[in-house]
């Protein structure tokens, strides 16, 4: 599709935060790669943290405890859908504001998101603590591990408010074009969490052995320390998202901004919920196949997190760069950003698939005792599913581009169709014939359908007519025309 040139409307860049990279001019592919690499590093550290913790749990407490954490972590993924959706909507607003040189608008958008979500995190944590047993039963958690999963899940719920705020701050920084600062604090949290896990699980000196609760407590401590350190750094370095003086009122959600964040964030959050529901139903099917298969699937999920990392990192970079260019009126660069993102994703994700397939048994053996029958099952699962993440990566880039201009309904519908009637329908329909393999083959089939539909939506181009609200003008309700500031938006 030919790109629409509205460069005559682009701002001069006045007001761009000092030291922030300029994503609206210059070579696209190198800038996109340099922005994506720190995000990839952050994602790898996050996954490495979970993997190391799984190693400690599996080695110290056995396969039952590992299956318990897998079930509990899927529930937490569902809880994080809200912070992702509304945080992503705020991040798009931040990026578009930075593209226009409107730093105050970026602060308004992020302040509204924090005011909305951090208070909500305390409510979710309280409700989650109370209803954790019911959640685990709905998940069909094996009775042998329900008590372990309950202990772990309840402590993890306590860590949620700090985790929510940290995620929002990191997303906000990436929206301004800073993907390096979040990397350092992800590293800090990873070191603390993975280092404290064996100490709190097994005990050391005066510290008593806490078992599986020790693993969750290590996560709680790491989240609190990481959040505090990140806040201190934001203010010491006077980073663009900091609030001072009268700006603290931005934490009281602006009604107009709040409507925009809710309208755009709800579908984004629902996308995560759809993914979560699909995952919960899948693990419910897996749980019925026995403890060995459940443990194998949990370990395969650990491996897949690494394969997904390039796609997620490049998608975040594409979204931030596209949002800033849309804010600056540089529609002439959007197609090139998308193509560069697809090419980088093919190289990085394809490379991860090849490497993890070649060494899958060695890596899988880190999580389980030598000779565990779950290793062979996990290797078989990965052989079927692993290559589908190449298609997933391309889909992520296309979705990230259209979301940068506020198109969130079509990606939601595409995911809902491909994950529920396609993927789960295939799994249920073919299990009588293929057994467990029907579950594993449903992944690449769903990914293929999702990719075809995503390409169709991108090429159709209707997403270019949408627009996000300008945060700097939210208090004046400057949304009368339905276009961003009434200009800079293609009419096509």
Top mean-pLDDT range of 106-110, 124-128, 146-150, 466-470:
106-110
Question: Is the backbone of residue 251 left (phi > 0), alpha (psi -120 to 50) or beta?
Answer: alpha
What is the DSSP code (8-state) at residue 482? S
Report pLDDT digits (tens) over 238-279: 998 998 888 899 888 888 888 888 888 888 878 877 877 777
Structural domain count of the chain: 1
Top mean-pLDDT range of 73-77, 240-244, 469-473:
240-244
Report pLDDT digits (tens) over 188-214: 998 999 899 889 988 887 888 888 888
**Please, what's the b/e burial string for 430-460 (b: 16 or more CB within 10 A of its CB; e: otherwise)?**
bbeeeebebbbbbbbbbbebbbebbeebbee
Question: For residues 488 and 34, what is the distance between their CA atoms, to the nearest angstrom?
Answer: 27
DSSP string for residues in 290-310: -HHHHHHHHHHHHHHHHHHHH
Indicate the pLDDT class of residue 374, thresholds 50, 70 and 90. confident
Q: Which two tokens stand for residue 142?
A: 């094996």
Q: Tell which wins on pLDDT, 191 or 295.
A: 191
- Min mean pLDDT across 1-10, 155-164, 322-331 is at 1-10
| Res. 470: pLDDT tops 50 | yes
The pLDDT assigned to 224 comes to 93
The pLDDT assigned to 468 comes to 61
Report pLDDT digits (tens) over 76-117: 766 776 677 888 888 888 888 888 888 888 899 899 888 888
Q: Which two tokens stand for residue 200?
A: 């709190």
Q: Which residues lie across from 207 on neighbouring strands?
A: 204
The 3-class SS string of 423-445 reads HHHHHHHHHHHHCCHHHHHHHHH
Indicate the pLDDT class of residue 471, thresholds 50, 70 and 90. low
Q: Tell which wins on pLDDT, 475 or 324.
A: 324
Quick check: 408 and 268 in contact, CB under 8 A?
Answer: yes
**Please, what's the b/e burial string for 317-338 (b: 16 or more CB within 10 A of its CB; e: otherwise)?**
bbbbbbbbbbbbbbbebbbebb
Question: For residues 34 and 399, what is the distance between their CA atoms, to the nearest angstrom?
Answer: 20
Mean residue pLDDT of the chain comes to 81
| Res. 351: pLDDT tops 70 | yes
Quick check: 378 and 297 in contact, CB under 8 A?
Answer: yes
Beta carbons within 8 Å of 481's beta carbon, 6+ residues apart: none
Question: For residues 287 and 141, what is the distance between their CA atoms, to the nearest angstrom?
Answer: 7
Question: For residues 401 and 300, what is the distance between their CA atoms, to the nearest angstrom?
Answer: 29
- Residue 66 forms part of a structural domain: yes
The pLDDT assigned to 487 comes to 32
- Min mean pLDDT across 164-173, 194-203, 356-365, 391-400 is at 356-365
- Residue 88 forms part of a structural domain: yes
Indicate the pLDDT class of residue 1, thresholds 50, 70 and 90. very low
Structure-token match 């929002």, residue found: 168
- Residue 427 forms part of a structural domain: yes
Angle between helices 146-158 and 63-100 in degrees, nearest 10: 30
- Min mean pLDDT across 6-10, 162-166, 408-412 is at 6-10
How many Å is the Cα radius of gyration of the chain?
22
Question: For residues 174 and 264, what is the distance between their CA atoms, to the nearest angstrom?
Answer: 18
Quick check: 81 and 272 in contact, CB under 8 A?
Answer: yes
Angle between helices 103-138 and 63-100 in degrees, nearest 10: 160
Report pLDDT digits (tens) over 410-443: 999 998 899 888 988 998 889 888 888 898 999 9
Report pLDDT digits (tens) over 299-334: 888 788 778 888 988 998 998 899 889 888 888 899
Share of the chain above pLDDT 90, in %: 19
- Residue 4 forms part of a structural domain: no
Beta carbons within 8 Å of 217's beta carbon, 6+ residues apart: 155, 196, 200, 210
- Min mean pLDDT across 49-53, 225-229, 321-325, 473-477 is at 473-477
The pLDDT assigned to 25 comes to 78
The pLDDT assigned to 45 comes to 85
Indicate the pLDDT class of residue 491, thresholds 50, 70 and 90. very low
Q: How far apart, in Å, are the Cα atoms of 75 and each of 68, 71, 81, 200, 416?
A: 11, 7, 10, 23, 19
| Res. 156: pLDDT tops 80 | yes
The pLDDT assigned to 481 comes to 31
| Res. 20: pLDDT tops 60 | no
The pLDDT assigned to 395 comes to 94
- Residue 5 forms part of a structural domain: no
Quick check: 327 and 96 in contact, CB under 8 A?
Answer: yes
| Res. 12: pLDDT tops 80 | no
Quick check: 234 and 242 in contact, CB under 8 A?
Answer: yes
- Residue 3 forms part of a structural domain: no
- Residue 10 forms part of a structural domain: no
The pLDDT assigned to 21 comes to 58
- Residue 473 forms part of a structural domain: yes
The pLDDT assigned to 69 comes to 78
The pLDDT assigned to 480 comes to 34
Give the range of the structural domain holding residue 198, as residue numbers without chain letter.
Answer: 27-482
């Amino acid at each position: 599709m030919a790109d629409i040139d509205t460069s005559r409307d682009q701002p001069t860049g006045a007001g761009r935060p000092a030291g922030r990279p300029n994503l609206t001019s210059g070579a696209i592919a190198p800038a996109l790669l340099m922005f994506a690499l720190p995000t990839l590093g952050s994602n790898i550290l996050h996954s490495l943290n979970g993997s190391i913790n799984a190693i400690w749990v599996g080695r110290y407490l056995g396969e039952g405890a590992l299956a318990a954490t897998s079930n509990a972590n899927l529930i937490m993924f569902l809880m994080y859908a809200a912070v992702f959706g509304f945080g992503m909507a705020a991040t798009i607003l931040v990026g578009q504001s930075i593209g226009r040189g409107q730093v105050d608008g970026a602060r308004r958008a992020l302040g509204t998101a924090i005011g909305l979500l951090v208070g909500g995190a305390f409510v979710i944590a309280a409700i989650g603590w109370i209803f954790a047993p019911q959640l685990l039963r709905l998940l069909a958690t094996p009775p042998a591990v329900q008590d372990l999963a309950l202990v772990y899940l309840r402590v993890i719920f306590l860590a949620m408010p700090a985790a929510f705020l940290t995620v929002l701050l990191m997303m906000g920084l990436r929206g301004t074009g800073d993907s390096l600062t979040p990397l350092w604090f992800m590293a800090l949290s990873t070191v603390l969490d993975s280092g404290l896990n064996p100490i709190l699980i097994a005990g050391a000196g005066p510290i008593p052995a806490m078992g599986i609760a020790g693993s969750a407590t290590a996560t709680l401590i790491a989240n609190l320390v990481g959040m505090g350190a990140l806040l201190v750094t934001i203010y010491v370095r006077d980073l663009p998202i900091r609030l001072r003086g009268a700006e603290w009122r931005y934490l009281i959600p602006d009604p107009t901004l709040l409507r925009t964040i809710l309208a755009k964030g709800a579908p984004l959050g629902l996308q995560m919920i759809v993914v979560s529901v699909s995952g919960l139903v899948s693990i419910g099917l897996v749980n019925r196949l026995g403890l060995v298969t459940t443990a194998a699937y949990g370990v395969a999920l650990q491996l897949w997190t690494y394969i997904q990392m390039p796609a997620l990192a490049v998608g975040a970079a594409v979204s931030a760069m596209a949002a800033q260019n849309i804010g600056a009126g540089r529609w002439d660069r959007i197609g090139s950003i998308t193509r560069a993102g697809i090419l980088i994703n093919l190289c990085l994700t394809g490379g991860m698939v090849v490497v993890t397939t070649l060494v899958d048994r060695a890596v899988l053996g880190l999580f389980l005792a030598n000779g565990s029958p779950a290793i062979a099952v996990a290797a078989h699962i990965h052989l079927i599913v692993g290559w589908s993440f190449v298609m997933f990566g391309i889909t992520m880039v296309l979705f990230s581009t259209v979301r940068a201009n506020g198109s969130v309904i079509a990606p939601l519908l595409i995911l809902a169709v491909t994950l529920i009637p396609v993927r789960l329908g295939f799994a249920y329909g073919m299990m009588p014939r293929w057994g467990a393999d029907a579950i594993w083959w449903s992944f690449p089939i769903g990914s293929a359908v999702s990719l075809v539909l995503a390409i169709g939506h991108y090429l159709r181009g209707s997403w270019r007519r949408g627009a996000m609200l300008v945060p700097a003008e939210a208090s004046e309700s400057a949304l009368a025309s339905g276009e961003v500031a009434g200009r800079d938006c293609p009419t096509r």
